[in-house]
Structure 1
Amino acid sequence: MATLRVGSGKTAPGESWQLYGQEGVYIDVDTSAANFSGNPVYHASIYSTGGNQLWTHGAHGIYNVTATGFRLYLRWVDDAKRGGKQLTPDTCREFGFHVAWSGIDEP
């Protein structure tokens, strides 16, 4: 029977978000502290210091999975609801967007 390795963590509020064209932003989440050795299964959630994550879409989509991290893309559900304000790294800093994640790995 294999032993599962479980890890979790979070990114710093408002930090490390990068612009993704006109569509939104992305963040590369570093999970290396969990010491995974295979291809873990990750789960992620978006949090903010002001509650504006309600208007975002994409937190369930996890890309580029490796033992040391993954990428998550985020965009507004509807730009009009945000006054036409594009989701940028600056708005992520303003709202304190961050990612809480957990991962399960079978070494």
Structure 2
Amino acid sequence: MPTARIASGHTTPGQGWQAYGANGIYIDVNTTSARFTGTPVYVTSITGPGGNQWGLVGPSAVYSSTATSFRVYVQWKDGSPLTPATAQQYGWHINWIGYDNP
């Protein structure tokens, strides 16, 4: 009988962010190192030394989750333009914890 697996990780600060429309960005998070056997439940947060993540919406919403990856979309809560360059400037990265109970 398979046992539950809990693993965690984070993306590289400021790297991997892509534009999503005019006002948002997203990042694909690779969780291969966790060696999940099923699709886990992921819990996320965003952080970075440059700050300003308090003004974002979306960092805790997980999309397209699989055993090896998921995606997170973020935008400013006031709807103003957000670019990957901003995420790089602030050194934002996604922290994640995954729980797989096959």
Alignment gaps of 5+ in structure 1: none
Identity score, percent: 49
- Equivalent residue number for residue 52 of structure 1: 52
Task: Name the SS for the 1:63 alignment partner.
Answer: coil
More helix by proportion, 1 or 2? Answer: 1
- Could you list the runs of 4 or more consecutive aligned residues of structure 1 that deviate by over 6 angstroms after TM superposition? none
**87, 90, 94: which one pairs with 1:99?**
94
Deviations 1:11-48 (A, max 9, x none): 01100000001130000000000000101000000001
Query: What is the aligned residue count?
Result: 102
Pairing of 1:38-77 with structure 2 (within 5 A) = 38-77=38-77
Tell me the TM-score normalised to structure 2 length: 0.94
Q: Deviations over 1:32-91 (max 9, x none)?
A: 000001010000000011221010000121000000010000000114xxxx5x211100
CA distance in 2, matches of 1:43, 1:3: 20
Q: Which residue of 2 aligns with 1:12?
A: 12
